[in-house]
Structure 1
Amino acid sequence: MPSDFTYQPLRGDEIRLLRIEDDRSGHRKTNVTRHPLIACSIEHVRLPRTLGESSNQRFKGKEGTWPELPTQHNFGPLFNAGKDLRVDKTHLRKSAHTTINDEAALPWRRPWGDYIALSYVWSQPVGSDKEDRFFITVNDCPFKVTPNLYHALKELKKSQRVQQGFKLWIDAICIDQTNSDERGQQVARMRDIYQSAWQVLIWLGPSDTSTQLAFSALHWLSRESKQPKPMDNFYRESPSVDLRPAFIMWPTYNSPMKKDVYKALYHFFTRPYWRRMWVVQEVAMGNPNSPVLCGDQCISWQDIYQAVKVIASDESRFGREILDSVQPQTLATWSFEVARDRQIRGRKWAPERMWKIQETMMCVQKDQRTFSSASGRRELLRALNLARDALITDEKDRVYGILGIKAVADRVNIKPEYKLSQSIIYSNFAKEIMKGGDLNLLRLASGFGGYVLDSWEMDDLPPSAKNRAVGALTLPVLNATKGRELVPVGVVCNHDIPSWSVCWACAPAPTAQLGGIYQADARLGRSLPIFSRGRASLTTKGVLLDTITSLSASNEKDADPRYPSNTHPANTSTYGDFEATRNAFWRTIVCDTTSEGGEKAPDACSWLLEPRLWQRGIAGVWTNGFGLHSFMARNASLEICGFTIQELIFGRNKFKSKLKSMMGENFYHATEFQRESLSWAVNAMAWRRVFGTRGGRMGMGTCAAQVGDRIVLLRGCNTPLIVRRSGEAWKLVGECYVHGVMYGEISLDKHRLEDITIY
């Protein structure tokens, strides 16, 4: 059965829409596929770029409801006890929305009806037969589709909205994928198409044995989010025993939920859909009522968002249970875990690639409908970081796939041209974003971060040893052996692009993003950058502020023996006396902000100077090798502002300082705030280097930094940058935090403004 459907050209502002026909003949099978055909038809409709509609007008689907969304739930199967912990009636709600039958006499929103935009992945569903072929008919012509799309159409054919007459927009069918010109034109219209749809429907794929359990858990978590104190009294806490110095046992937290529930949630969050590049823009154009379908299971996008907020707020326990359900950790008795997002080899287990994706997607969606901040910098960086970490088949779509997102569309005016090279596309994109004078895109650029010594993990052990008891004994012995391989921190980029143009195809070191209210350039004035075509350079005004003279290792396992490096450490501190320098130090290691960003670090975070945190850490908190005690083990001798790290933490008396550092005592009974502040410090420091400067300053920056690099403040960039001399100009190394210059302290009264050219 050849696919002999012929596309007719689109004219003007036309798009194609697909209608699933109510045709009994579509149930017959053919000799080339064992699956029933689904009869469809294509029609061309006009979709003006500016659509106006009265908010008072009533039409079919006005309330945006999806009738298949469940209104009653039985949460008992989620729990070991067989019954829901929260005995209330909030989950037995009846819908007060208009029904399909009530809408029969209402007009359509458009003269030609209305449509649903489908958001899905093209890839093969897990467990499907790769040799199997799936067909539908389009205008009575055979049309081959992917298995995932076939299953989506099969499910949608049963939905009340499609039976009501809603059409579908599906990129694989409604765009002639063999016509590169049409493809580029339609990609440029993605924002209009998804934003103008009655609903964006999210299709995760066919259901599996765990889907029903996962959706039930998400509904429960969404309901839990409405409690005054979500997850309060959820865990059963084991008793703690404190008989120091002889014996100590910290409390553990036992969940009443079945282990299968956590495993089902893991499989939900690791579905291919969530990592797909185009999903970022498609979901952004939707709304909180968007239905999310997985086989015959359904939930609203808003309920998923409320559920992941609960998981994120209890990540060290509930989130850890999700991850441990499929990859047990070597030490089961740790009460809390932090910094899993910072691991290199374990990135597939990172929360940033699971429930934090949905949380960020909802923020991007909200950004579409609200007035952004004066600059929209935070909204822009949020969208760009999502796109950078997404899965893609064509690397050019890392740019083209987000052109419809408001924070990008407000700055960038380019049309998709797939004939251009990847390097040109990335450079042009960077120019468009920065041409107005906002250079904060430079904060995402980063050089290669070097190597760390590889370590054995549970996945590396033979099946017989993949358990906590054996792993806890075996892994430390294996990791103590010599001759371990080197693991790159990020991807070595070989693409021919200037250092000021972010390479979206090459993953950087997995650092935490800094969301502080920085204004380092506040007193430097404003100007527009100049881009030179000949040498691919960026020239703007800036201040060469200082030079890095001492530098820490980026990790305890940093493979470069030069670090920590004290080449020419400063003997003085610009911050004042010893206590003032200690205060500057704790603010530096958290980059003077919090994990949520948007504020300065509270003074209470000064407790991070507690010596026991730098000896063995908090009892019961697993830091994945990024703890403050791990930093101290490698960098105690690092000198910044006239003091060593060891002196700043344990005191200036060298004998007492050395003695304290060797005593090795844990910090016990940490409060929730103390755990959270430690977690942020550990995340902020991971894969960054603490440095001292010639001028007596301290800071923390990219792991690609080297001794001798310069610190520069540029007009239009709200953080300092690290640059490296390259001939008569500079190469951009990455962003940094420098204490004492982040809030406009540097003025042109005492510093010279000059042209800074970056290749």
Structure 2
Amino acid sequence: MSYSSFCYLALNHHAHEIRVLTLWPGCPDDPLQCDLSTARLTTRPVFNALSYVWGDPVNPNDPDTVITLDGCNFPVTASLFSALRHLRPPVGGHPLRLWVDAVCINQADLEERSQQVAMMRDIYASAERVVIWLGDEDDDSNAVFDALGDIVAPSSHQYDEEQAGHRQMLMRQCSGAFYSLADRRPWFSRVWILQELAMAKQDPLVACGWKSVAWSVFIDACKIIARALFTEIGMVRQKVQDGGYKRLDGTMPDTDANDVSDDNTVKVLAKLKIDVLEDLHDAVRTRNGESLWKLLIISRTSESTDPRDRVYGLLGLLEPDALDPQNSFVIPIDYRKPTAAVYADAVSHIFSRGEGPYFLSGAFLPGTSAAAPHINSLPSTIAQPSLPTWVPDLSRQVAGKATQPSGIQFHPPAGISVSGVGTDCNNGRVLEDGRTLQVEGLLVDTIERVIPLGTSFDSLVEKLPDIESRAAEARERPFHFGPSTAALIEQFKRKEPLWRTLISNKRFMSGYDAAPSTYEEAYLNLLNQRVSPLGADRSEDDAQGNEYELCLERCINNRTFFLTKGGFFGICVPDSREGDIVSIIFGSPVPFILRPAESAVSVSSCERDYHFLVGASYVSGIMSGELVDELYCEDLMDSTTFFIQ
């Protein structure tokens, strides 16, 4: 029993042909009888499109996951088999016409697969309805689906006291089960669902076991339960007269929020996967798409069976302008390419849109020797090279999977950029070899010494006096980019105290606000004693009460202190070492650490020195664009062309 018993007929790609699965009615325990037919999207065929999780690989020897397709045995995944069994019309009903990627695309034909994936935006947009399959039911899911109708009701509906109490009780009883369903089911982590949901022209149907509900009801229930639950635990804020927001208990939060009410009077300080899906759905409906770098950020926790689908699964959501070859590098869908080439195509596109430096500044970069995710199905004749250092591993963009810290840790407070007024400049292009990035920037200095910040809080505190002493000595070193810059450089180096530099000058639990001056006292207390009295024995209450110490704790294993030959100092990724250079790439809010390569690269028949991209950094005294605005823009400092591989 195998795929060989069924033979696909070729599709006419130029005629926009697709295959449609017909699922015939039957009793729950009957074998699944299906047929395949071809249809042209241009003729507006009637079908539903299934959105589901593939799950475990197909087991051709499992008779319990085999359907009959055009009279032939056809093995499918257990997830798809269950979906078809639950969606099958009852005896006497009308056949159900479905588009299901695993069956309607010949997965063994890489050329057809590439062509059909490129059409998926149109396929889901053409479907009469998108059917979302969350999986088999359980006690929690049944309780949630049974309660949704009572939780979601028209705002004009008047409840008496008893009805209101019943509704409140339902929300309390279902909140845990609802969020377990809405945030932990594998469907919500799948990258393809972003496109499948966003392109739906009508309200999708959400099915779980034998129960189903409209997506609009599902998302409305999420907002209602979120508002009720998060209000109780102080994670909701209201508008105040100055246009800002405050929590319902009157305190002012520091983080951004997402709406949970139509009038924007209440905002919730939590964003679950389901909220992200709805945000993206709105973006497609209102703006016809989104930029790739934003999509990659939105989907960073999403997963795919094929790592290349971390890119291909998002292309149908791109804003129309990004698909114009005259305005952008258009990413070709080609499943004959290795992962490194696909990810490089994605970053090339982002650079062609003028968003490359900023994107790299917040990514988890791969380091100087990172292998790309391997594709077992590629022929052995196709090489699968490692990732260029400027190409993030897009399948590892969360802290638990990444090999080194995110550049976000080194970002200065909001509104500040090492590139100064040039933050939004269009900078960078990928050369024809697909592995060399050419960018313009400033060569700041060479790293002379690196000091790891330790593996524990106590070891970090023990190093503070030495680090403070070295930073003070560095400020006294004479350094300039020309005689007329000496006074400015000395001013820059004395601009920011070390205690701010060590934490990227950001407040605890805020990616936007500058560290308050009250942190200085906490730093001085640590500096004046080699071992903090809180140390390893400090209580949780004590730790929570000292935000600066908590900021420093985040440095452990994630950051290294460095000093340059000319007296600059800062923090950088742990992989940095002596001899690396500190650079500013125009358009990035943070400096980058580059490593000179021992050989050269050929560019336009000329040999050029090139570098490896090690990671992001934070450099004291220049994070507000001082070198760019006051030296480079005043013709007191020359730019450098960097070639990065």
Give TM-score scaled by structure 2 length.
0.66
Q: Tell me the distance in 2 between the aligned counterparts of 1:678 and 1:288.
A: 50
CA distance 1:359–1:265, shift in 2 (3 Å): closer
Say whether the 8 Å CA contact 2:442–2:584 is kept in structure 1: yes
Matched-pair identity in %: 24
Instruction: Please name the residue that 1:475 is paired with.
Output: none
Q: Check if 1:290 corresponds to 2:204.
A: yes
CA distance 1:124–1:209, shift in 2 (3 Å): farther
Q: Tell me the distance in 2 between the aligned counterparts of 1:147 and 1:224.
A: 39
Say whether the 8 Å CA contact 1:446–1:704 is kept in structure 2: no
2:344 pairs with 405, 424, 427, which one?
A: 427
CA distance 1:27–1:301, shift in 2 (3 Å): closer
Say whether the 8 Å CA contact 1:586–1:609 is kept in structure 2: no
Say whether the 8 Å CA contact 1:199–1:286 is kept in structure 2: yes
Other structure's SS at 1:569 match: helix
Instruction: Please name the residue that 1:8 is paired with.
Output: 9
Instruction: Please name the residue that 1:508 is paired with.
Output: 402
Q: Check if 1:416 corresponds to 2:314.
A: no
CA distance 1:419–1:512, shift in 2 (3 Å): closer
Q: Check if 1:156 corresponds to 2:87.
A: yes
Instruction: Please name the residue that 1:628 is paired with.
Output: none
- Superposed displacement of residue 712, structure 1: 1.6
Q: Tell me the distance in 1 between the aligned counterparts of 2:519 and 2:279.
A: 34
Instruction: Please name the residue that 1:529 is paired with.
Output: 428
Other structure's SS at 1:185 match: helix
Question: 2:576 corresponds to which letter in structure 1?
Answer: A
Q: Tell me the distance in 2 between the aligned counterparts of 1:692 and 1:221.
A: 56
Instruction: Please name the residue that 2:132 is paired with.
Output: 202
Other structure's SS at 1:133 match: helix
Say whether the 8 Å CA contact 1:194–1:282 is kept in structure 2: yes
Unmatched segments (≥5 aa) in structure 2: 157-169, 236-269, 375-383, 477-489, 599-608
Q: How many residues are treated as equivalent by the alignment?
A: 533
Other structure's SS at 2:81 match: helix
Q: Tell me the distance in 1 between the aligned counterparts of 2:508 and 2:292.
A: 22
Moved more, 519-528 or 396-405: 519-528
Say whether the 8 Å CA contact 2:450–2:576 is kept in structure 1: no
Say whether the 8 Å CA contact 2:445–2:582 is kept in structure 1: yes
Per-residue deviation, residues 127-153 of structure 1 (Å, max 9, x unmatched): x99944234444555543333222222
1:116 pairs with 39, 48, 67, which one?
A: 48
Question: 2:48 corresponds to which letter in structure 1?
Answer: I
What is the 5 A alignment of 1:25-44?
Answer: 26-27=26-27, 35-44=29-38
CA distance 1:661–1:445, shift in 2 (3 Å): closer
Moved more, 414-423 or 747-756: 414-423
Q: Tell me the distance in 2 between the aligned counterparts of 1:196 and 1:725.
A: 51
Say whether the 8 Å CA contact 1:113–1:166 is kept in structure 2: no
Q: Tell me the distance in 2 between the aligned counterparts of 1:174 and 1:382.
A: 30
Question: 1:729 corresponds to which letter in structure 2?
Answer: Y
Q: Tell me the distance in 2 between the aligned counterparts of 1:584 and 1:301.
A: 47
CA distance 1:269–1:755, shift in 2 (3 Å): same
Say whether the 8 Å CA contact 2:492–2:622 is kept in structure 1: no
Q: Tell me the distance in 2 between the aligned counterparts of 1:412 and 1:391.
A: 25
Instruction: Please name the residue that 1:733 is paired with.
Output: 614
Instruction: Please name the residue that 2:519 is paired with.
Output: 609
Say whether the 8 Å CA contact 1:590–1:680 is kept in structure 2: no
- Superposed displacement of residue 398, structure 1: 2.7
Instruction: Please name the residue that 1:461 is paired with.
Output: none
Instruction: Please name the residue that 2:644 is paired with.
Output: 758
Say whether the 8 Å CA contact 2:106–2:112 is kept in structure 1: yes
- Superposed displacement of residue 510, structure 1: 7.6
Instruction: Please name the residue that 1:58 is paired with.
Output: none
CA distance 1:536–1:143, shift in 2 (3 Å): closer
What is the 5 A alignment of 1:110-509?
Answer: 112-124=44-56, 131-139=62-70, 141-158=72-89, 167-215=97-145, 262=176, 265-266=179-180, 269-286=183-200, 289-302=203-216, 305=219, 356-371=272-287, 380-385=292-297, 389-406=301-318, 411-440=328-357, 441-443=359-361, 444-447=363-366, 496-505=386-395, 507-509=401-403
2:442 pairs with 536, 539, 543, which one?
A: 543
CA distance 1:432–1:577, shift in 2 (3 Å): closer
Say whether the 8 Å CA contact 2:596–2:612 is kept in structure 1: yes
Other structure's SS at 1:205 match: coil
Other structure's SS at 2:443 match: strand
Question: 1:424 corresponds to which letter in structure 2?
Answer: A
What is the 5 A alignment of 1:67-86?
Answer: none
Q: Tell me the distance in 2 between the aligned counterparts of 1:300 and 1:587.
A: 46
CA distance 1:135–1:318, shift in 2 (3 Å): farther
Question: 2:37 corresponds to which letter in structure 1?
Answer: E
Question: 1:417 corresponds to which letter in structure 2?
Answer: D
Per-residue deviation, residues 243-294 of structure 1 (Å, max 9, x unmatched): xxxxxxxxxxxx9956x97467446633332333433332333479433221
Say whether the 8 Å CA contact 2:418–2:624 is kept in structure 1: yes
Q: Tell me the distance in 2 between the aligned counterparts of 1:217 and 1:518.
A: 48
CA distance 1:288–1:19, shift in 2 (3 Å): closer
Q: Tell me the distance in 2 between the aligned counterparts of 1:399 and 1:135.
A: 31
- What is the root-mean-square deviation of aligned Cα atoms in Å? 5.3
Q: Tell me the distance in 2 between the aligned counterparts of 1:296 and 1:265.
A: 20
- Superposed displacement of residue 155, structure 1: 2.5
Other structure's SS at 2:206 match: strand
Other structure's SS at 1:427 match: helix
Unmatched segments (≥5 aa) in structure 1: 29-34, 49-110, 227-254, 321-353, 451-487, 615-645
- Superposed displacement of residue 577, structure 1: 11
- Superposed displacement of residue 729, structure 1: 2.6
Moved more, 742-751 or 691-700: 691-700
Instruction: Please name the residue that 2:585 is paired with.
Output: 714
- Superposed displacement of residue 120, structure 1: 0.6
Instruction: Please name the residue that 1:97 is paired with.
Output: none
Question: 1:18 corresponds to which letter in structure 2?
Answer: L
Give TM-score scaled by structure 1 length.
0.57
Q: Tell me the distance in 1 between the aligned counterparts of 2:228 and 2:591.
A: 31
Q: Check if 1:590 corresponds to 2:519.
A: no
Q: Tell me the distance in 1 between the aligned counterparts of 2:548 and 2:206.
A: 36
Say whether the 8 Å CA contact 2:501–2:619 is kept in structure 1: no
Q: Tell me the distance in 2 between the aligned counterparts of 1:371 and 1:520.
A: 31
- Superposed displacement of residue 217, structure 1: 7.6
Q: Tell me the distance in 2 between the aligned counterparts of 1:575 and 1:303.
A: 59
Q: Tell me the distance in 1 between the aligned counterparts of 2:558 and 2:373.
A: 16
Other structure's SS at 1:501 match: coil
Instruction: Please name the residue that 1:108 is paired with.
Output: none
Moved more, 186-195 or 556-565: 556-565
CA distance 1:740–1:579, shift in 2 (3 Å): closer
Per-residue deviation, residues 457-515 of structure 1 (Å, max 9, x unmatched): xxxxxxxxxxxxxxxxxxxxxxxxxxxxxxx9x999x9522211223355314856748
CA distance 1:17–1:685, shift in 2 (3 Å): farther
- Superposed displacement of residue 170, structure 1: 0.8
Instruction: Please name the residue that 1:84 is paired with.
Output: none
Say whether the 8 Å CA contact 2:407–2:615 is kept in structure 1: no
